[in-house]
Structure 1
C-alpha cells in the first residue's frame, strides 16, 4: 500500500484492532465461565492463537520483519488449523477429552511451518518444496476433518439453538479456511497483501462477531454442559443409574420415570427413563399430541426396549414413532430435559447393564455380552460411558455389588 494513501492502512489497522479485542474478550469469557471444560479450554487457545495470527499477518509487519522474527507467529497461525479441528470435536461432543495425539498434531504442524519460514523457504534445499507443500495442505486437511467431526455428531445435539451455532462455527470456519488457502496459494510467499489482507481480516471479524453475538444470547448451560465433577458411586439399587451427561446423583426407579399425563407405567424388569441432563424448560400449556408422543416414546424405550438397537439414531427413532424429527428433539430436550440424544439412549443401556452386573444369577455372564445385549456396539464405548457414569469399571462395579449381596 503506498504511503501517500493512508486510508487503506487505517482501515486495515482498525479492523485488526477490533478483531483482536473481540478474540481476547471471547477468550476471557470462555476461560472465566468454563475454566475446566475441554471445549472452553480449546476455545481459549484458538481465540488467542487467532489473535496472534491477526497480528502476525499484518502486511507492514510481514514486509518489515525478517523470516526469523516471523517464524513463531507463522507457526502459531499454522497450528490454529489443528486447534480448529480439536475445537470442532470438543464443541460437538460433551464428553470430549483431549488426547496426546491432539498436542502432537499441533506441535508437528507448528514446527513444520516455523522451520519453513525460518530456514527452508528460499534455501534451495531439495526438501523445501515438500515441506512447503505439507504446510499448505495442512489447513485444508484439518478443515475437512472439522467438518467431518461436526457432521458425525451434529444430529445427536438436542439443543436447537446450540445446534445452529455449532453448525455456523464449523461451517463458516471451514469455508473461511478453504477460501484463504485459495487466496494465499496465489502468492509465492504464502502471504496476503493489500486488499486481500484487509478482506481476510474483515471475513474473520464477521465470523467472530456473529459467534460472539450468538454466544451472548445463549445461556451458558445451552452452549456447554454443566462443568460439575462426577461423584463417586454411592450404594444404589440395581436399576438406578448415574447418567453420564450430568454427573447428577443416581435416581431410583420411582424417581427416574418422568410420567406423562396419560401415566404409562413401566414394567418391573424394564429400565426407568434416565434422569434428565438439566431441568426441563416449563411447558406453557398441555399439548395432547405431545402427551401421546411422550407415552409412545416411554413405552418404546421401557416395555419394548428400543434402545437395544445398536444403530438407533434420532432419525430412526422418529420414523419408528411416525413423527417429524424436530418434534422428537423438542420432546426429549424440553420435556425430558436431555441435551444429547446419544447420552439419552445410553442412559437406558447403562441402567440395563447396571442391573445385569448386580444380578447374582448373571455373575458368570461376560461383561461384553451384557454390553452388547444392552445396545452398545463394542466394549470400548461401553467402558467409557460406564466409567463416566459410575466412577468404576464394569468389573469393579460387579465385584462391589456381588460382595454386598
Structure 2
C-alpha cells in the first residue's frame, strides 16, 4: 500500500470517528452547551483532518482555503469547549463568535492573499502563534478549574481530552512554523495523519467510556445525592464527617475565607482530599466545589438581604461579607439560584414584610 493510500486511510478514519462523536453528542445532549460545543469542535476537527498539511506552499487551491480556515478556527472552538467542559456556569457571549470569525477570516486571507503575495512565513507563523495562544488559554482554564470538579469519573477524562488535543495541536503548530517554506515529504504527512487518527481515537474512547450525564451535566444545581449501600460503620463515619463539615460551614462560616480550597477544607477535617471530594459529591449531591461554597454564601446573603435592619447596607458589602470577591460573580450566582437579582430579592422581601 502506498503512503498516499495510508495517509488517506488515516484521514478517513479520523473523520469517521469524529462524525460518530458528533452524532452521539447531538442525539443525547443537544440541549447541553458543552455537548454542542463538543460537537462543533469535532466537526471543525474533521475539516482539519481533511485539509491539514505540514508542508505549506505559497498557493493552495481556492476550494481548499475555506477548509483550512475552518481548520484554523478549530482552536477557538476548542478553547470554548474547554471553558464549558470545566465550568458548568459558562455561557457563550456575542464576542466569542467574533473571535472565531476573526481567526477564521485571517486564516482564509492568509491562504488566498497573504501567502500568495510572498509572505508565506509571516502568514503561517502568525496563524500558528494564534493556535499556541488559544492552547495556552485552554490549558490555563483546565488547571484553574480542575481542582473544583467533584465528579471523580469525569476528572481524568476531561484532563486527558484537553491534554491530548493540546499536545497534538501544539506540536503541529511548532512543527509548521519550523518547516514553513520547505517540503517535508510524504512520510512526514503520513506520520502526522496517523498521529491525528490515534489522538482522535483516544479522545473518542475517553469520552465514550464516561457516563454522558457525568461529562455533560444538564444543570448547574446540585444533583440528588447518590445513595450507595455500605457498611453501617462506614456510613456512621461519613455522617460524622458531614456533621463536622456542616459545623465548619454554618458555625465558623469557613466559606468566607479568601481563596478557600477543597485541600484547605480537607486539612481542617484531617481527611484526604479525595475523601472529602467524594463526600460532597456522593452524599451532598454537588458536582462542583465552587457551587457548594457559593450556595452557602448565597444563603447568608439571602438572610442579610431579607433582614430589615440591614436595609441600608449596600449589596456589594453583603456580597463581600459572604465571601464573594466582586459584585459580578455574586449577582450571577445569586440569580442562578434564586431567579432574581439581589436587589430584586431585597425589594420582594421588603414588600412582603
Q: TM-score w.r.t. structure 1 length? A: 0.81
Tell me which stretches of 4 or more aligned residues in structure 1 moved more than 6 Å.
none
Cα distance per residue 1:63-98 (max 9 Å; x no partner): 9x9432221111111111111111111110001101
Q: 1:282 aligns with which of 217, 228, 243?
A: 228
Structure 2: segments with no counterpart, 5+ residues? none
2:278 alignment counterpart: 330
Cα distance per residue 1:262-290 (max 9 Å; x no partner): xxxxxxxxxxxxxx423324242231432
The answer to whether the aligner puts 1:123 opposite 2:117 as a matched pair is yes
Residue aligned with 1:67, SS = coil
Alignment of 1:115-154 (within 5 A): 115-124=109-118, 130-154=122-146
Q: Structure 1 stretch 83-92 or stretch 66-75: which is displaced more?
A: 66-75
Q: 1:13 aligns with which of 8, 16, 39?
A: 8
- Evaluate the alpha carbon distance shift between residue 130 and residue 323 of structure 1 in structure 2; reply closer, same or farther with a 3 A threshold: same
Please provide the CA RMSD for this pair: 2.2
Cα distance per residue 1:37-83 (max 9 Å; x no partner): 221121111110011111123799x99x9432221111111111111
- Evaluate the alpha carbon distance shift between residue 361 and residue 334 of structure 1 in structure 2; reply closer, same or farther with a 3 A threshold: same
1:38 alignment counterpart: 33
1:184–1:192 Cα contact (<8 Å) kept:
no
Quick one: distance in 2 between partners of 1:311 and 1:77?
38
Higher helix share: 2
1:347 alignment counterpart: 295
- Evaluate the alpha carbon distance shift between residue 283 and residue 382 of structure 1 in structure 2; reply closer, same or farther with a 3 A threshold: farther
Larger relative contact order, structure 1 or 2 (CA cutoff 8 Å, min sep 6): 2
- Evaluate the alpha carbon distance shift between residue 377 and residue 59 of structure 1 in structure 2; reply closer, same or farther with a 3 A threshold: closer
2:226–2:282 Cα contact (<8 Å) kept:
yes
2:11–2:50 Cα contact (<8 Å) kept:
yes
Quick one: distance in 1 between partners of 2:318 and 2:132?
42
- Evaluate the alpha carbon distance shift between residue 197 and residue 20 of structure 1 in structure 2; reply closer, same or farther with a 3 A threshold: same
Shift of the alpha carbon at 1:395?
Answer: 0.5
Count of paired positions: 350
Structure 1: segments with no counterpart, 5+ residues? 1-5, 228-244, 247-275
Quick one: distance in 2 between partners of 1:203 and 1:283?
44
Q: TM-score w.r.t. structure 2 length? A: 0.92
Q: 1:225 aligns with which of 212, 217, 229?
A: 217
